[in-house]
Amino acid sequence: MALTPTTNLFPSPLYVSFYSSLPRSSREFPGWFLERYWDFLIFAPCACLIKKKKMNTCKHEGPSLNIPGGFEGPEKRFELDFRASTATPLEGLRSITREKWQEMLDLARCTILNTTSNDHFDAFVLSESSLFVYPHRILIKTCGTTTLLNCVNKMLDYANECNLSIEFVRYSRKNFLFPHEQKYPHTAWEDEVTYLKDIFGRGEGMVMGSQSDEKWYLYLADFSDSPGLPKVKPHQIKTIEIMMHNLEEDAAEQFIRKPETGDQDKHPAMKKILNEDAVTDEFNFTPCGYSMNALDEEAYHTVHVTPESHCSYASYETNARVRSYTKLITHVFDVFKPGTAQLALFTERSNLLRDSNTIEKETSPDFTIPGYDILFRVSKSLDANCDVVLLNYASHTFSNSPKSVKKLKQAHVHLENLS
């Protein structure tokens, strides 16, 4: 169960700052807690004497606008793909117990809140984002100040238990809002890449994005040249991530928990994004915040929202086969109404379709979205038989707002193809 502070007992802005910077987990480590919040423990009694006033910690006009702290919404994302051997159990990694997954997640300082499964994979809603486990694949996303990469060696231990061999490694994230709050090995991109290379013995890191705006960091390690690994992928796999900031007030307020809302009540806005047959596992945090995993046959969808105005963020990701990415992106933007957004479309290509002249045609549909300008766009063919398309957006409303004028004057529109 997530922390549930009582606003009436702790009304001060200092408490709001304290709470918004907390990991969304009730399983805290006392030593870390005291180290980070020593100042708060000393000065909080004074703050509680401040005159009480009715306030909502997530509203734009609220005092949160003047609070320097905040929750780190942008997630770290790590994926491991494996190949099976004759000794691999039929369920593969799905044979690992929930208790063991929690043991792994303790290393990242997050907690399993709920689990949902279908015939293809298991989906875990975490106190900080999500974990997906397929027979031969692990995908984990964690936000806040979690130390996701501390889990990697434990993942490899579990893979060894299942007699699985590494096929592909992928780690990515966008730039942090509060990089100074991150813990090693997430203190710098160079630290993360070095940490991963020490584990896997190979791989390359890269940084994509405009020179003056949002960045996207990507590390890949390809083991497809290992003996016995099939050389042909029968079909391509696409993953789309949409990372959104500066949510409009009415969109953010949807994710402020109401008194009558239950922890796992369904959010009506998700119907605009998901197929009607998708099974959802949702969690409403107190006082605000939202996470959702959806299972749709072999495909997953995941949504995470931090609605506080001074650090508002929402993310959507899926590996579903999509007829129209433009339609999907439009629906996502309609729900969350971001002022700015970054989109990454990552493709693991079929070896049967390796004609370089078709890369842009296959991976880059029309990304033009009504009401939004594309500030940056790049398409790139990568090693490991992969391609990526990265775009940065800004809404017309946000572009014309006073808070964005200075930032957007520095931005450059890049329409590059680095295939």
- Encode pLDDT of 271-297 as tens digits: 999 998 999 999 999 999 999 999 999
Mean pLDDT of 140-148: 97
Please say if 129 is a catalytic residue.
yes
Please say if 267 is a catalytic residue.
no
In a domain, residue 52? The reply is no
- pLDDT-based confidence at 383, cuts 50/70/90? confident
Please say if 162 is a catalytic residue.
no
* Residue 31 confidence (pLDDT): 42
Q: What is the DSSP secondary structure assignment for residue 24, as one 8-state letter? A: S
In a domain, residue 15? The reply is no
Spatial strand order of the sheet with 215-222 comes to: 112-117, 122-126, 129-134, 137-142, 76-83, 165-174, 215-222, 204-209
Please say if 304 is a catalytic residue.
yes
How far apart CA 299 and CA 318 sit, in angstroms, is: 7
Mean pLDDT of 11-35: 42
Q: For residue 44, how many C-alpha atoms fall within 13 Å in the half-sphere facing its CB?
A: 13
- Taking only the tens place, the pLDDT of each residue in 296-340 is 999 999 999 999 988 999 999 999 999 899 999 999 999 999 999
> Which ranges constitute the DSSP H helices of 278-387?
325-336, 359-363
More confident of the two residues 341 and 228: 341
* Residue 69 confidence (pLDDT): 57
Sequence-separated (6 or more) residues with CB below 8 Å from residue 92: 82, 84, 134, 135, 136, 162, 164
In a domain, residue 31? The reply is no
Give the predicted TM-score (pTM) of the model: 0.80
In a domain, residue 268? The reply is yes
- pLDDT-based confidence at 18, cuts 50/70/90? very low
* Residue 117 confidence (pLDDT): 98
Q: Is 316 in contact with 270 (CB distance < 8 Å)?
A: no
How far apart CA 318 and CA 301 sit, in angstroms, is: 4
* Residue 228 confidence (pLDDT): 55
* Residue 261 confidence (pLDDT): 94
- From 367, 60, 393, select the one nearest 244 (Cα to Cα): 393
User: Per mean pLDDT, which range of 315-319, 385-389, 405-409 is the poorest?
Assistant: 405-409
Mean pLDDT of 64-90: 82
How far apart CA 218 and CA 239 sit, in angstroms, is: 14
How far apart CA 229 and CA 224 sit, in angstroms, is: 6
Length of the chain: 419
Question: What is the average pLDDT score of the chain?
Answer: 81
More confident of the two residues 68 and 177: 177
Please say if 143 is a catalytic residue.
yes
* Residue 412 confidence (pLDDT): 39
Residue 190's domain comprises 76-418
Q: What is the DSSP string of 70-97?
A: ----SPEEEEEEEE--TTS-TTGGGGS-
* Residue 37 confidence (pLDDT): 44
How far apart CA 392 and CA 415 sit, in angstroms, is: 11
In a domain, residue 322? The reply is yes
Catalytic residue among 12, 21, 58, 72: 72
Please say if 276 is a catalytic residue.
no
- pLDDT-based confidence at 210, cuts 50/70/90? confident
- pLDDT-based confidence at 81, cuts 50/70/90? very high
Catalytic residue among 58, 110, 143, 288: 143
- pLDDT-based confidence at 226, cuts 50/70/90? low
Which residues does residue 125 pair with via DSSP β-bridges, in sequence order? 114, 130
Catalytic residue among 21, 172, 210, 291: 291
| Omega before 287 within 30 of 0, i.e. cis | yes
In a domain, residue 359? The reply is yes
In a domain, residue 47? The reply is no
Looking at the predicted structure, is the pLDDT value of residue 173 above 50? yes
In this prediction, what percent of the chain has a pLDDT beyond 70?
A: 73
More confident of the two residues 110 and 68: 110
Amino acid at 418: L
Total number of domains in the chain: 1
* Residue 400 confidence (pLDDT): 87
Looking at the predicted structure, is the pLDDT value of residue 164 above 70? yes
User: Per mean pLDDT, which range of 5-9, 15-19, 322-326 is the poorest?
Assistant: 5-9
How far apart CA 279 and CA 294 sit, in angstroms, is: 5
Mean pLDDT of 362-381: 86
- Residue 197: which CATH number? 3.60.90.10
Catalytic residue among 288, 304, 311, 379: 304
In a domain, residue 398? The reply is yes
Looking at the predicted structure, is the pLDDT value of residue 20 above 60? no
